[in-house]
Structure 1
Amino acid sequence: MRLGITMFMTDRTVQAHDLAREAEARGFASLYVPEHTHIPVSRETPPPTGVDTLPEEYGRMPDPLVALAAAAAVTGRIVLGTGVCLPAQRDPIVTAKAVATLERLAPGRFRLGVGYGWNVEEAADHGVPWKRRRAMTREHVLAMRELWTAEQASFKGEFVDFAACWSWPKPTARIPVLVGGAAGPTLFAHIAEYGDGWIPIGGAGIREALPALRAACAAAGRAMVPVVPFGTLPTARKLDYYASLGIEEVVLRVPPGTRDEVLPVLDGYARAFL
Protein backbone atom coordinates (compact mmCIF):
# COMPACT_ATOMS: atom_id res chain seq x y z
CA MET A 1 0.00 0.00 0.00
CA ARG A 2 1.26 3.46 -0.93
CA LEU A 3 1.17 6.14 1.76
CA GLY A 4 0.92 9.83 1.04
CA ILE A 5 0.57 12.87 3.26
CA THR A 6 -1.54 16.02 3.41
CA MET A 7 -1.19 19.12 5.53
CA PHE A 8 -3.03 22.42 5.98
CA MET A 9 -0.16 24.51 4.71
CA THR A 10 0.02 28.25 5.47
CA ASP A 11 2.46 31.13 5.24
CA ARG A 12 3.62 30.16 8.75
CA THR A 13 4.23 26.44 8.22
CA VAL A 14 6.83 24.45 6.37
CA GLN A 15 6.40 25.18 2.67
CA ALA A 16 5.32 22.76 -0.06
CA HIS A 17 8.69 22.45 -1.78
CA ASP A 18 10.45 21.66 1.50
CA LEU A 19 7.74 19.26 2.68
CA ALA A 20 7.62 17.46 -0.68
CA ARG A 21 11.39 17.01 -0.76
CA GLU A 22 11.46 15.64 2.78
CA ALA A 23 8.45 13.37 2.19
CA GLU A 24 10.02 11.97 -0.97
CA ALA A 25 13.30 11.30 0.81
CA ARG A 26 11.44 9.24 3.42
CA GLY A 27 9.59 7.14 0.87
CA PHE A 28 6.13 8.69 0.91
CA ALA A 29 4.28 8.28 -2.36
CA SER A 30 2.32 11.53 -2.55
CA LEU A 31 1.73 15.00 -1.17
CA TYR A 32 -1.67 16.70 -1.37
CA VAL A 33 -2.40 20.31 -0.43
CA PRO A 34 -5.83 21.92 0.08
CA GLU A 35 -7.39 25.13 -1.20
CA HIS A 36 -9.36 28.03 0.18
CA THR A 37 -9.02 31.27 -1.75
CA HIS A 38 -10.12 33.29 1.29
CA ILE A 39 -12.37 33.04 4.34
CA PRO A 40 -14.95 35.82 4.74
CA VAL A 41 -14.75 37.35 8.21
CA SER A 42 -18.52 37.71 8.48
CA ARG A 43 -20.12 34.37 7.78
CA GLU A 44 -22.76 31.97 8.98
CA THR A 45 -21.39 28.65 7.72
CA PRO A 46 -20.20 26.56 10.71
CA PRO A 47 -16.73 25.00 10.58
CA PRO A 48 -16.81 21.55 8.91
CA THR A 49 -14.80 20.04 11.75
CA GLY A 50 -17.51 20.63 14.35
CA VAL A 51 -15.44 23.08 16.41
CA ASP A 52 -16.78 26.47 17.46
CA THR A 53 -14.04 28.55 15.86
CA LEU A 54 -12.55 27.87 12.45
CA PRO A 55 -8.77 27.30 12.75
CA GLU A 56 -6.77 30.17 11.31
CA GLU A 57 -5.01 27.99 8.75
CA TYR A 58 -8.17 28.00 6.64
CA GLY A 59 -7.61 31.68 5.87
CA ARG A 60 -3.83 31.47 5.40
CA MET A 61 -3.46 28.82 2.67
CA PRO A 62 -1.22 29.47 -0.34
CA ASP A 63 -2.47 28.84 -3.83
CA PRO A 64 -2.12 25.07 -4.24
CA LEU A 65 -1.01 25.09 -7.88
CA VAL A 66 1.72 27.65 -7.29
CA ALA A 67 2.89 25.79 -4.18
CA LEU A 68 2.96 22.46 -6.01
CA ALA A 69 4.87 23.97 -8.93
CA ALA A 70 7.64 24.82 -6.47
CA ALA A 71 7.47 21.25 -5.13
CA ALA A 72 7.65 19.84 -8.66
CA ALA A 73 10.91 21.70 -9.27
CA VAL A 74 12.74 20.02 -6.37
CA THR A 75 11.38 16.46 -6.58
CA GLY A 76 11.49 13.66 -9.11
CA ARG A 77 9.27 10.83 -7.90
CA ILE A 78 6.58 11.90 -5.45
CA VAL A 79 3.04 12.40 -6.75
CA LEU A 80 1.74 15.94 -6.23
CA GLY A 81 -1.95 16.70 -5.89
CA THR A 82 -4.64 19.05 -4.71
CA GLY A 83 -6.65 17.83 -1.79
CA VAL A 84 -8.92 19.44 -2.68
CA CYS A 85 -9.14 22.16 -5.32
CA LEU A 86 -12.49 23.95 -5.68
CA PRO A 87 -13.16 24.16 -9.44
CA ALA A 88 -16.50 25.96 -9.09
CA GLN A 89 -14.60 28.92 -7.63
CA ARG A 90 -12.05 28.98 -10.47
CA ASP A 91 -12.15 30.09 -14.07
CA PRO A 92 -11.84 26.80 -15.99
CA ILE A 93 -9.83 28.18 -18.91
CA VAL A 94 -7.23 29.79 -16.65
CA THR A 95 -7.14 26.79 -14.31
CA ALA A 96 -6.77 24.31 -17.18
CA LYS A 97 -3.67 26.16 -18.37
CA ALA A 98 -2.22 26.37 -14.86
CA VAL A 99 -2.78 22.65 -14.26
CA ALA A 100 -1.30 21.68 -17.63
CA THR A 101 1.73 23.88 -16.99
CA LEU A 102 2.22 22.29 -13.57
CA GLU A 103 1.92 18.78 -14.99
CA ARG A 104 4.63 19.60 -17.53
CA LEU A 105 6.92 20.39 -14.60
CA ALA A 106 6.13 16.98 -13.04
CA PRO A 107 5.23 14.72 -15.98
CA GLY A 108 2.78 12.02 -14.93
CA ARG A 109 3.03 13.06 -11.27
CA PHE A 110 0.05 15.37 -10.83
CA ARG A 111 -3.40 14.47 -9.48
CA LEU A 112 -6.26 16.96 -9.46
CA GLY A 113 -8.31 16.35 -6.35
CA VAL A 114 -11.55 18.32 -6.56
CA GLY A 115 -14.40 19.07 -4.19
CA TYR A 116 -17.62 21.02 -4.03
CA GLY A 117 -16.76 23.22 -1.06
CA TRP A 118 -18.47 23.75 2.28
CA ASN A 119 -18.26 27.52 2.91
CA VAL A 120 -21.35 29.26 1.54
CA GLU A 121 -19.92 32.77 1.97
CA GLU A 122 -16.64 31.92 0.24
CA ALA A 123 -18.48 30.46 -2.73
CA ALA A 124 -20.82 33.45 -2.91
CA ASP A 125 -17.87 35.81 -3.27
CA HIS A 126 -16.96 33.85 -6.41
CA GLY A 127 -20.50 34.08 -7.77
CA VAL A 128 -21.20 30.39 -7.18
CA PRO A 129 -24.92 29.60 -6.71
CA TRP A 130 -24.73 27.29 -3.70
CA LYS A 131 -27.33 24.76 -4.76
CA ARG A 132 -25.71 24.49 -8.19
CA ARG A 133 -22.10 24.15 -7.07
CA ARG A 134 -21.96 20.42 -7.90
CA ALA A 135 -23.26 21.01 -11.41
CA MET A 136 -20.80 23.89 -11.82
CA THR A 137 -17.90 21.74 -10.60
CA ARG A 138 -18.86 19.06 -13.12
CA GLU A 139 -18.93 21.50 -16.03
CA HIS A 140 -15.66 23.13 -15.07
CA VAL A 141 -13.89 19.76 -14.92
CA LEU A 142 -15.39 18.63 -18.24
CA ALA A 143 -14.37 21.92 -19.85
CA MET A 144 -10.82 21.59 -18.53
CA ARG A 145 -10.62 18.03 -19.86
CA GLU A 146 -11.61 19.37 -23.27
CA LEU A 147 -8.88 22.02 -23.10
CA TRP A 148 -6.30 19.44 -22.05
CA THR A 149 -7.07 17.00 -24.86
CA ALA A 150 -8.52 18.70 -27.96
CA GLU A 151 -6.44 20.41 -30.61
CA GLN A 152 -9.26 22.91 -30.99
CA ALA A 153 -11.21 22.91 -27.77
CA SER A 154 -14.78 24.12 -27.39
CA PHE A 155 -17.47 23.76 -24.76
CA LYS A 156 -21.06 24.82 -24.36
CA GLY A 157 -22.91 24.32 -21.09
CA GLU A 158 -24.92 26.09 -18.46
CA PHE A 159 -21.92 27.67 -16.74
CA VAL A 160 -19.10 27.40 -19.30
CA ASP A 161 -19.34 28.47 -22.91
CA PHE A 162 -16.43 29.04 -25.26
CA ALA A 163 -15.99 28.58 -29.01
CA ALA A 164 -13.21 26.60 -30.66
CA CYS A 165 -9.84 27.75 -29.35
CA TRP A 166 -6.19 26.83 -29.09
CA SER A 167 -4.80 26.24 -25.63
CA TRP A 168 -1.33 24.92 -24.88
CA PRO A 169 0.59 23.45 -23.19
CA LYS A 170 -1.19 20.11 -23.16
CA PRO A 171 -0.41 17.71 -20.30
CA THR A 172 2.05 14.94 -21.07
CA ALA A 173 -0.45 12.34 -19.81
CA ARG A 174 -4.06 12.10 -18.72
CA ILE A 175 -4.53 14.03 -15.49
CA PRO A 176 -6.40 11.86 -12.95
CA VAL A 177 -9.32 13.70 -11.36
CA LEU A 178 -10.09 12.47 -7.85
CA VAL A 179 -13.44 13.61 -6.50
CA GLY A 180 -13.86 14.28 -2.79
CA GLY A 181 -17.06 14.18 -0.80
CA ALA A 182 -19.41 12.08 1.28
CA ALA A 183 -20.83 8.89 -0.21
CA GLY A 184 -24.08 9.32 -2.08
CA PRO A 185 -25.73 8.82 -5.47
CA THR A 186 -24.90 12.30 -6.81
CA LEU A 187 -21.23 12.04 -5.89
CA PHE A 188 -20.90 8.55 -7.29
CA ALA A 189 -22.67 9.53 -10.53
CA HIS A 190 -20.18 12.36 -10.96
CA ILE A 191 -17.23 10.09 -10.25
CA ALA A 192 -18.52 7.56 -12.76
CA GLU A 193 -18.94 10.26 -15.40
CA TYR A 194 -15.80 12.37 -15.11
CA GLY A 195 -13.72 11.18 -12.16
CA ASP A 196 -10.80 8.80 -11.87
CA GLY A 197 -11.16 8.05 -8.17
CA TRP A 198 -12.90 8.88 -4.90
CA ILE A 199 -11.19 10.59 -1.97
CA PRO A 200 -13.40 10.10 1.11
CA ILE A 201 -12.38 12.39 3.95
CA GLY A 202 -11.58 10.40 7.07
CA GLY A 203 -12.57 7.04 5.65
CA ALA A 204 -15.62 6.18 7.75
CA GLY A 205 -18.21 4.03 5.97
CA ILE A 206 -16.05 3.09 3.00
CA ARG A 207 -16.85 -0.64 3.14
CA GLU A 208 -20.59 0.04 3.06
CA ALA A 209 -20.24 2.56 0.20
CA LEU A 210 -18.12 0.43 -2.14
CA PRO A 211 -21.03 -1.54 -3.71
CA ALA A 212 -22.84 1.69 -4.65
CA LEU A 213 -19.70 3.19 -6.19
CA ARG A 214 -19.02 -0.03 -8.08
CA ALA A 215 -22.60 -0.07 -9.37
CA ALA A 216 -22.38 3.57 -10.52
CA CYS A 217 -19.18 2.85 -12.41
CA ALA A 218 -20.70 -0.26 -14.01
CA ALA A 219 -23.78 1.71 -15.07
CA ALA A 220 -21.45 4.15 -16.84
CA GLY A 221 -19.63 1.28 -18.56
CA ARG A 222 -16.49 1.74 -16.48
CA ALA A 223 -14.39 -0.42 -14.23
CA MET A 224 -14.29 0.36 -10.52
CA VAL A 225 -12.18 3.45 -9.78
CA PRO A 226 -9.58 3.70 -7.00
CA VAL A 227 -10.59 4.82 -3.52
CA VAL A 228 -8.04 6.93 -1.64
CA PRO A 229 -8.92 7.53 2.04
CA PHE A 230 -7.85 11.06 2.84
CA GLY A 231 -6.65 12.82 5.97
CA THR A 232 -6.22 9.57 7.90
CA LEU A 233 -4.69 9.49 11.35
CA PRO A 234 -2.89 6.18 10.94
CA THR A 235 -2.76 3.07 13.04
CA ALA A 236 -1.52 -0.32 11.92
CA ARG A 237 -5.02 -1.75 12.41
CA LYS A 238 -6.62 0.98 10.30
CA LEU A 239 -4.14 0.55 7.44
CA ASP A 240 -4.61 -3.23 7.52
CA TYR A 241 -8.36 -2.67 7.29
CA TYR A 242 -7.96 -0.45 4.24
CA ALA A 243 -5.68 -3.02 2.64
CA SER A 244 -8.33 -5.70 3.20
CA LEU A 245 -10.72 -3.58 1.09
CA GLY A 246 -8.28 -3.54 -1.81
CA ILE A 247 -7.27 0.07 -1.24
CA GLU A 248 -3.84 0.84 -2.68
CA GLU A 249 -3.19 4.39 -1.44
CA VAL A 250 -3.97 6.16 1.84
CA VAL A 251 -3.20 9.82 2.51
CA LEU A 252 -2.10 10.49 6.10
CA ARG A 253 -2.83 13.69 7.98
CA VAL A 254 0.14 15.73 9.16
CA PRO A 255 -0.67 18.49 11.69
CA PRO A 256 0.27 21.95 10.37
CA GLY A 257 3.54 23.20 11.75
CA THR A 258 7.01 24.48 11.09
CA ARG A 259 9.73 22.33 9.59
CA ASP A 260 11.05 21.46 13.06
CA GLU A 261 7.56 20.42 14.16
CA VAL A 262 6.61 18.47 11.04
CA LEU A 263 9.73 16.43 10.28
CA PRO A 264 9.50 14.37 13.51
CA VAL A 265 5.92 13.46 12.51
CA LEU A 266 7.14 12.30 9.10
CA ASP A 267 9.91 10.30 10.76
CA GLY A 268 7.42 8.66 13.11
CA TYR A 269 5.04 7.72 10.30
CA ALA A 270 7.93 6.39 8.22
CA ARG A 271 9.26 4.22 11.04
CA ALA A 272 5.85 2.84 11.90
CA PHE A 273 4.23 2.33 8.53
CA LEU A 274 6.67 2.43 5.59
Structure 2
Amino acid sequence: MRISTTIFLTDETITPVRLARELEERGFGGLYLPEHTHIPVERTTPYPAGGELPPEYGRTLDPFVALGQAAAVTSQLGLGTGITLVAEHDPIDLAKQIATLDHLSGGRFTLGVGFGWNREEAADHGVEWTTRRELTRDRMGLMRALWAPEPTPYKGEFGSVRASYAYPKPGGGAPRTLVGGAAGPKLFAHIADYADGWLPIGGRGLAQSLPVLRDVWSAAGRDPEKLQVVPYAVLPTPGKLAHYAELGVEEVVLQLPPAGEAEVLRVLDEFGQYL
Protein backbone atom coordinates (compact mmCIF):
# COMPACT_ATOMS: atom_id res chain seq x y z
CA MET A 1 0.00 0.00 0.00
CA ARG A 2 1.32 3.43 -0.97
CA ILE A 3 1.19 5.95 1.85
CA SER A 4 0.62 9.48 0.52
CA THR A 5 -0.16 12.72 2.31
CA THR A 6 -2.29 15.82 2.03
CA ILE A 7 -1.96 19.20 3.69
CA PHE A 8 -3.39 22.71 3.52
CA LEU A 9 -0.23 24.50 2.43
CA THR A 10 -0.52 28.20 3.19
CA ASP A 11 1.64 31.29 3.54
CA GLU A 12 2.14 30.27 7.19
CA THR A 13 3.04 26.57 6.86
CA ILE A 14 6.01 24.49 5.82
CA THR A 15 6.96 25.28 2.22
CA PRO A 16 6.17 23.00 -0.76
CA VAL A 17 9.88 22.52 -1.49
CA ARG A 18 10.82 21.51 2.05
CA LEU A 19 7.83 19.18 2.41
CA ALA A 20 8.27 17.51 -0.98
CA ARG A 21 11.94 16.79 -0.33
CA GLU A 22 11.15 15.31 3.09
CA LEU A 23 8.35 13.13 1.71
CA GLU A 24 10.50 11.68 -1.04
CA GLU A 25 13.50 11.10 1.21
CA ARG A 26 11.33 9.31 3.76
CA GLY A 27 9.62 7.10 1.17
CA PHE A 28 6.09 8.52 1.10
CA GLY A 29 4.14 7.90 -2.09
CA GLY A 30 2.66 11.27 -2.88
CA LEU A 31 1.57 14.80 -1.99
CA TYR A 32 -2.01 15.96 -2.68
CA LEU A 33 -3.06 19.59 -2.27
CA PRO A 34 -6.55 21.09 -1.89
CA GLU A 35 -7.88 24.16 -3.66
CA HIS A 36 -9.85 27.24 -2.64
CA THR A 37 -9.40 30.38 -4.69
CA HIS A 38 -10.94 32.55 -1.95
CA ILE A 39 -13.41 32.34 0.93
CA PRO A 40 -16.03 35.14 0.88
CA VAL A 41 -16.38 36.75 4.30
CA GLU A 42 -20.15 37.04 3.91
CA ARG A 43 -20.69 33.30 3.91
CA THR A 44 -23.90 31.44 4.64
CA THR A 45 -22.72 27.96 3.58
CA PRO A 46 -21.97 25.93 6.71
CA TYR A 47 -18.60 24.23 7.07
CA PRO A 48 -19.25 20.53 6.25
CA ALA A 49 -17.32 19.30 9.29
CA GLY A 50 -19.30 21.59 11.61
CA GLY A 51 -18.28 24.59 13.70
CA GLU A 52 -16.18 27.49 12.48
CA LEU A 53 -14.32 27.26 9.21
CA PRO A 54 -10.59 26.78 9.96
CA PRO A 55 -8.48 29.78 8.88
CA GLU A 56 -6.29 27.75 6.49
CA TYR A 57 -9.19 27.53 4.02
CA GLY A 58 -8.75 31.20 3.23
CA ARG A 59 -4.95 31.00 3.00
CA THR A 60 -4.34 28.02 0.69
CA LEU A 61 -1.57 28.23 -1.87
CA ASP A 62 -2.51 27.67 -5.49
CA PRO A 63 -2.08 23.88 -5.84
CA PHE A 64 -0.64 23.93 -9.35
CA VAL A 65 2.04 26.48 -8.51
CA ALA A 66 2.92 24.65 -5.28
CA LEU A 67 2.98 21.26 -6.99
CA GLY A 68 5.20 22.70 -9.72
CA GLN A 69 7.74 23.58 -7.03
CA ALA A 70 7.39 20.10 -5.53
CA ALA A 71 7.91 18.50 -8.95
CA ALA A 72 11.11 20.46 -9.52
CA VAL A 73 12.83 19.10 -6.39
CA THR A 74 11.69 15.45 -6.58
CA SER A 75 11.86 12.62 -9.10
CA GLN A 76 9.58 9.88 -7.74
CA LEU A 77 6.99 11.56 -5.50
CA GLY A 78 3.42 11.41 -6.79
CA LEU A 79 1.76 14.83 -7.15
CA GLY A 80 -1.97 15.44 -7.02
CA THR A 81 -4.85 17.73 -6.26
CA GLY A 82 -7.31 16.83 -3.58
CA ILE A 83 -9.28 18.34 -5.09
CA THR A 84 -9.44 20.68 -8.10
CA LEU A 85 -12.71 22.65 -8.31
CA VAL A 86 -13.03 22.11 -12.05
CA ALA A 87 -16.24 24.16 -12.33
CA GLU A 88 -14.38 27.25 -11.10
CA HIS A 89 -11.82 27.16 -13.95
CA ASP A 90 -11.72 28.05 -17.60
CA PRO A 91 -11.34 24.50 -18.98
CA ILE A 92 -8.97 25.46 -21.80
CA ASP A 93 -6.58 27.11 -19.35
CA LEU A 94 -6.97 24.27 -16.85
CA ALA A 95 -6.25 21.64 -19.50
CA LYS A 96 -2.99 23.41 -20.30
CA GLN A 97 -2.00 23.67 -16.61
CA ILE A 98 -2.69 19.99 -16.00
CA ALA A 99 -0.89 18.80 -19.12
CA THR A 100 2.11 21.01 -18.39
CA LEU A 101 2.48 19.81 -14.79
CA ASP A 102 2.07 16.20 -15.83
CA HIS A 103 4.66 16.62 -18.59
CA LEU A 104 7.24 18.44 -16.47
CA SER A 105 6.86 15.93 -13.61
CA GLY A 106 7.31 12.93 -15.89
CA GLY A 107 3.72 11.74 -15.65
CA ARG A 108 3.45 11.91 -11.86
CA PHE A 109 0.26 14.00 -11.67
CA THR A 110 -3.13 12.83 -10.36
CA LEU A 111 -6.14 15.04 -10.96
CA GLY A 112 -8.52 14.95 -8.03
CA VAL A 113 -11.89 16.31 -9.16
CA GLY A 114 -14.42 17.83 -6.78
CA PHE A 115 -17.72 19.68 -6.98
CA GLY A 116 -17.23 22.01 -4.01
CA TRP A 117 -19.27 22.84 -0.93
CA ASN A 118 -18.98 26.64 -0.64
CA ARG A 119 -21.82 28.23 -2.61
CA GLU A 120 -20.47 31.75 -2.25
CA GLU A 121 -17.06 30.84 -3.62
CA ALA A 122 -18.65 29.10 -6.61
CA ALA A 123 -21.04 31.99 -7.24
CA ASP A 124 -18.14 34.43 -7.55
CA HIS A 125 -16.87 32.22 -10.37
CA GLY A 126 -20.24 32.42 -12.11
CA VAL A 127 -21.16 28.84 -11.23
CA GLU A 128 -24.86 28.00 -10.93
CA TRP A 129 -24.90 25.73 -7.89
CA THR A 130 -27.54 23.28 -9.09
CA THR A 131 -25.69 22.57 -12.33
CA ARG A 132 -22.13 22.40 -10.97
CA ARG A 133 -21.88 18.63 -11.36
CA GLU A 134 -22.94 18.64 -15.01
CA LEU A 135 -20.73 21.67 -15.62
CA THR A 136 -17.81 19.67 -14.24
CA ARG A 137 -18.64 16.68 -16.46
CA ASP A 138 -18.84 18.98 -19.47
CA ARG A 139 -15.50 20.62 -18.71
CA MET A 140 -13.85 17.24 -18.27
CA GLY A 141 -15.09 16.31 -21.73
CA LEU A 142 -13.69 19.51 -23.20
CA MET A 143 -10.30 18.99 -21.55
CA ARG A 144 -10.12 15.42 -22.79
CA ALA A 145 -10.72 16.70 -26.32
CA LEU A 146 -7.70 19.01 -25.94
CA TRP A 147 -5.61 16.12 -24.60
CA ALA A 148 -6.55 13.84 -27.51
CA PRO A 149 -3.66 12.73 -29.76
CA GLU A 150 -5.18 14.44 -32.81
CA PRO A 151 -7.00 17.81 -33.00
CA THR A 152 -10.50 17.03 -31.73
CA PRO A 153 -13.46 19.41 -31.49
CA TYR A 154 -15.85 19.40 -28.55
CA LYS A 155 -19.30 20.88 -28.21
CA GLY A 156 -21.07 20.49 -24.91
CA GLU A 157 -23.94 22.00 -22.97
CA PHE A 158 -21.73 24.55 -21.23
CA GLY A 159 -18.75 25.03 -23.52
CA SER A 160 -17.01 24.13 -26.73
CA VAL A 161 -13.60 24.17 -28.35
CA ARG A 162 -12.52 23.93 -31.95
CA ALA A 163 -10.22 21.17 -33.13
CA SER A 164 -6.90 22.54 -31.89
CA TYR A 165 -3.19 21.94 -31.56
CA ALA A 166 -2.68 21.69 -27.81
CA TYR A 167 0.59 20.45 -26.42
CA PRO A 168 2.04 19.03 -24.23
CA LYS A 169 -0.17 15.99 -23.77
CA PRO A 170 -0.60 14.22 -20.41
CA GLY A 171 0.97 10.80 -20.22
CA GLY A 172 -1.43 8.04 -21.25
CA GLY A 173 -3.76 10.49 -22.98
CA ALA A 174 -5.14 11.90 -19.71
CA PRO A 175 -3.87 12.20 -16.15
CA ARG A 176 -4.94 9.68 -13.56
CA THR A 177 -8.29 11.08 -12.43
CA LEU A 178 -10.05 10.47 -9.10
CA VAL A 179 -13.40 12.01 -8.14
CA GLY A 180 -14.05 13.06 -4.57
CA GLY A 181 -17.36 13.18 -2.79
CA ALA A 182 -19.87 11.24 -0.71
CA ALA A 183 -21.14 7.88 -1.92
CA GLY A 184 -24.24 8.01 -4.07
CA PRO A 185 -25.62 7.24 -7.54
CA LYS A 186 -24.73 10.65 -9.01
CA LEU A 187 -21.14 10.49 -7.81
CA PHE A 188 -20.65 6.90 -8.90
CA ALA A 189 -22.03 7.72 -12.37
CA HIS A 190 -19.41 10.46 -12.72
CA ILE A 191 -16.63 8.11 -11.65
CA ALA A 192 -17.67 5.46 -14.15
CA ASP A 193 -18.02 8.05 -16.91
CA TYR A 194 -14.68 9.85 -16.92
CA ALA A 195 -12.47 8.87 -13.96
CA ASP A 196 -10.11 6.15 -12.82
CA GLY A 197 -11.57 5.92 -9.36
CA TRP A 198 -12.88 7.45 -6.16
CA LEU A 199 -11.28 9.72 -3.56
CA PRO A 200 -13.53 9.26 -0.49
CA ILE A 201 -12.79 11.60 2.41
CA GLY A 202 -11.95 9.62 5.52
CA GLY A 203 -12.82 6.29 3.94
CA ARG A 204 -15.74 5.61 6.29
CA GLY A 205 -18.30 3.06 5.10
CA LEU A 206 -16.16 1.67 2.27
CA ALA A 207 -17.17 -1.92 2.95
CA GLN A 208 -20.78 -1.00 2.13
CA SER A 209 -20.10 1.50 -0.69
CA LEU A 210 -17.47 -0.36 -2.69
CA PRO A 211 -19.74 -3.18 -3.96
CA VAL A 212 -22.22 -0.56 -5.21
CA LEU A 213 -19.51 1.40 -7.00
CA ARG A 214 -18.11 -1.76 -8.53
CA ASP A 215 -21.55 -2.63 -9.92
CA VAL A 216 -21.92 0.83 -11.49
CA TRP A 217 -18.37 0.64 -12.84
CA SER A 218 -18.91 -2.78 -14.44
CA ALA A 219 -22.31 -1.79 -15.86
CA ALA A 220 -20.56 1.08 -17.66
CA GLY A 221 -18.26 -1.41 -19.34
CA ARG A 222 -15.20 -0.50 -17.31
CA ASP A 223 -12.56 -3.09 -16.43
CA PRO A 224 -13.22 -4.22 -12.81
CA GLU A 225 -9.49 -4.64 -12.23
CA LYS A 226 -8.76 -0.99 -13.00
CA LEU A 227 -11.05 0.70 -10.48
CA GLN A 228 -8.98 2.65 -7.93
CA VAL A 229 -10.23 3.73 -4.51
CA VAL A 230 -7.97 6.05 -2.52
CA PRO A 231 -9.18 6.98 1.00
CA TYR A 232 -8.32 10.64 1.52
CA ALA A 233 -7.48 12.89 4.49
CA VAL A 234 -7.22 9.84 6.75
CA LEU A 235 -6.08 10.00 10.37
CA PRO A 236 -4.36 6.62 10.49
CA THR A 237 -4.36 3.71 12.87
CA PRO A 238 -2.90 0.25 12.18
CA GLY A 239 -6.36 -1.28 12.25
CA LYS A 240 -7.80 1.25 9.82
CA LEU A 241 -5.03 0.70 7.27
CA ALA A 242 -5.34 -3.08 7.63
CA HIS A 243 -9.07 -2.76 6.92
CA TYR A 244 -8.37 -0.77 3.75
CA ALA A 245 -5.84 -3.37 2.63
CA GLU A 246 -8.44 -6.11 3.07
CA LEU A 247 -10.74 -4.15 0.76
CA GLY A 248 -8.08 -4.02 -1.93
CA VAL A 249 -7.02 -0.41 -1.40
CA GLU A 250 -3.54 0.21 -2.82
CA GLU A 251 -3.05 3.84 -1.75
CA VAL A 252 -4.19 5.90 1.21
CA VAL A 253 -3.70 9.64 1.76
CA LEU A 254 -2.91 10.71 5.32
CA GLN A 255 -3.80 14.14 6.69
CA LEU A 256 -0.94 16.40 7.79
CA PRO A 257 -1.58 19.44 10.01
CA PRO A 258 -1.53 22.92 8.38
CA ALA A 259 1.47 23.85 10.47
CA GLY A 260 5.05 25.02 10.42
CA GLU A 261 8.06 22.91 9.58
CA ALA A 262 8.76 21.52 13.06
CA GLU A 263 5.20 20.28 13.66
CA VAL A 264 4.80 18.77 10.17
CA LEU A 265 8.12 16.91 10.45
CA ARG A 266 7.12 15.59 13.87
CA VAL A 267 3.91 14.15 12.37
CA LEU A 268 5.88 12.66 9.47
CA ASP A 269 8.05 10.92 12.06
CA GLU A 270 4.88 9.43 13.57
CA PHE A 271 3.52 8.37 10.16
CA GLY A 272 6.80 6.66 9.36
CA GLN A 273 5.56 3.53 11.15
CA TYR A 274 3.04 2.98 8.34
CA LEU A 275 5.53 3.02 5.49
Q: Deviations over 1:131-169 (max 9, x none)?
A: 100001111112111111242132101111122222111
Q: Which amino acid aligns with 1:46?
A: P
Match of 1:259 among 258, 261, 270: 261
Indicate conservation of the 8 Å contact 2:142/2:161, yes or no.
Answer: no
The count of aligned residue pairs is 272
Q: Which moved more, 1:21-30 or 1:151-160?
A: 151-160
Q: Which amino acid aligns with 1:39?
A: I
Q: Which amino acid aligns with 2:20?
A: A
Indicate conservation of the 8 Å contact 2:256/2:267, yes or no.
Answer: yes
For 1:171 and 1:177, how far apart are their aligned partners in 2? 12
For 2:83 and 2:116, how far apart are their aligned partners in 1? 9
Find the counterpart in structure 1 of residue 103 from structure 2: 104
Q: Which amino acid aligns with 2:155?
A: K
Q: Deviations over 1:209-250 (max 9, x none)?
A: 011101111111002311000000000010001111111100
- Does residue 218 of structure 2 align to residue 218 of structure 1? yes
Find the counterpart in structure 1 of residue 162 from structure 2: 163
Q: Which moved more, 1:167-176 or 1:5-14?
A: 167-176
Find the counterpart in structure 2 of residue 69 from structure 1: 68
Indicate conservation of the 8 Å contact 1:103/1:110, yes or no.
Answer: yes
For 1:172 and 1:219, how far apart are their aligned partners in 2? 27
Q: Deviations over 1:102-138 (max 9, x none)?
A: 1111112100001000000000000111010000111
Find the counterpart in structure 2 of residue 273 from structure 1: 274
SS at match of 2:178: strand
Residue correspondence of structure 1 range 234-253 to structure 2 within 5 A: 234-253=236-255
TM-score (norm. length: structure 2): 0.97
TM-score (norm. length: structure 1): 0.97
Unaligned stretches of 5+ in structure 2?
A: none
Identity of counterpart residues, as a percentage? 57
Deviation at 1:3, TM superposition (A): 0.5
For 1:172 and 1:248, how far apart are their aligned partners in 2? 21
Residue correspondence of structure 1 range 72-83 to structure 2 within 5 A: 72-83=71-82
Q: Which amino acid aligns with 1:257?
A: A
Find the counterpart in structure 2 of residue 86 from structure 1: 85
For 2:260 and 2:152, how far apart are their aligned partners in 1? 43
Q: Which amino acid aligns with 1:233?
A: L
For 2:101 and 2:212, how far apart are their aligned partners in 1? 34
Runs of 4 or more, structure 1, over 3 Å off, are none
Deviation at 1:193, TM superposition (A): 0.6
Indicate conservation of the 8 Å contact 1:31/1:79, yes or no.
Answer: yes
Q: Which moved more, 1:63-72 or 1:156-165?
A: 156-165
For 2:27 and 2:246, how far apart are their aligned partners in 1? 22
Deviation at 1:17, TM superposition (A): 2.1
Find the counterpart in structure 2 of residue 10 from structure 1: 10
For 2:16 and 2:83, how far apart are their aligned partners in 1? 15
Deviation at 1:41, TM superposition (A): 0.6
